Amino acid sequence: MKSSWFKILASVFGAMLALSFFGADTVEARMKVFVSIAPQKYFVERIGAGLVDVSVLVAPGASPHVYEPRPMQMTALSEADLFFAIGVPFEAVWLPRIAAATKGLKIVSMEEGIEKIPMSEHGHDDGHEDQSHDLNHDDGDGEHHHGVLDPHVWLSPKRAFALAQNTAGVLSAMDPHHRVVYQRNLEALLADIQELDETIEALFAQAGANLSFMVYHPAWGYLAHDYGLVQIPVEISGKDPKPAQLQQLIDTAREKDIRVLFVSPQFSQKSAQVVAKAINGRVEPADPLDENWMDSLLSQARRIAEALR
């Protein structure tokens, strides 16, 4: 009897030990990937499902305009395999530093090959006009708004096809053993993006003649450009508008019968609330950095379409 129990315990212990070792190997084998913002995580995890561990630098609620990596993140980056940049403002300052401090880290651009448009300014809102601004204008926060190219490429399904393809290409190159898995996941994601694109096309096709919507920060320029809308930002060159500019925005909102102002949680609602009160409208959230990229983008498109009616 004692011998039987000893054999059972030995078997259980051996199985647990083996599982521990195999589990450790499995975790160690997963590619360690960093991304700048949460929407990128969606693409990497969809394509690298089960094969990657993804960490995000910019925490929820923080702004990629003024973000600085924490010391713990820099340490984690030094142990990572891959970093996907996407052109958000903090990268211009921090990518060279990250590259210098992490010699084994491969840094790639997820938005490679995407044609970018200038950031919207009030009076130049639709992304279709030639916006020839002073490229040397600095608003004081280290960001050049006039003439700078819009980094928010992930906020239109039509641009997201390239984000997905770039992600799959890099993961396949880094881990060719799982190339078939990455390609299969890519095809599934591209099909979902295609469906999202068609759904949003149909939403805005029913919007009617009024195609203007108002936002605080001009993050939705690609959505506007790609679906024939006009984005009107409250923010003027990265700052709250002055009184005369604020009155012009109020007059524009009244003229275009705009009743909803969309504000990102990363920015102040003060000026948007002033405009909303003046036009008997309301402020609604519009988060461009939501991690659940597909559902969030569809939800925001529906809110904009509703506001256009």
| pLDDT tens digits, one per residue of 212-271 | 999 999 999 999 999 999 999 998 767 788 889 889 999 999 999 999 999 988 877 787
* Residue 121, beta-bridge partner list: 124
Q: For tokens 């713990």, name the residue.
A: 72
Domain ranges of the chain: 2-111+151-196, 206-308
Token pair, residue 34, equals 């960093």
- Residue 6: pLDDT band with limits 50, 70, 90: very low
Average pLDDT, the chain: 84
pTM of the model: 0.82
233 in Cβ contact with 217 (< 8 Å) = yes
- Residue 147: pLDDT band with limits 50, 70, 90: low
Mean pLDDT of 160-164: 98
Class for the domain spanning 206-308: alpha beta
- Percentage of residues in the chain with pLDDT exceeding 90? 65
Domains 2-111+151-196 and 206-308 share a fold: yes
pLDDT score of 29? 75
Task: Give the CATH number of domain 2-111+151-196.
Answer: 3.40.50.1980
pLDDT score of 271? 79
What is the CB neighbour count within 10 angstroms for residue 251? 12
pLDDT digits (tens, 9 = 90+) for 282-292: 999 999 999 99
The whole-angstrom separation of Cα 76 and Cα 98 is 11
Let me know the angle formed at the C-alpha of 259 by 245 and 125, rounded to the nearest 5 degrees.
50
By three-state DSSP, how is residue 60 classified? coil
Q: What are phi and psi of 35, to 5 degrees?
A: -130, 160
CA 24 to chain centre: 32
pLDDT digits (tens, 9 = 90+) for 114-146: 999 998 765 444 444 333 222 223 333 334 344
Pairing of strands 230-233, 282-285: unpaired
pLDDT digits (tens, 9 = 90+) for 56-113: 999 888 888 889 999 999 999 999 999 999 999 999 999 999 999 998 999 999 999 9
pLDDT digits (tens, 9 = 90+) for 173-186: 999 999 999 999 99
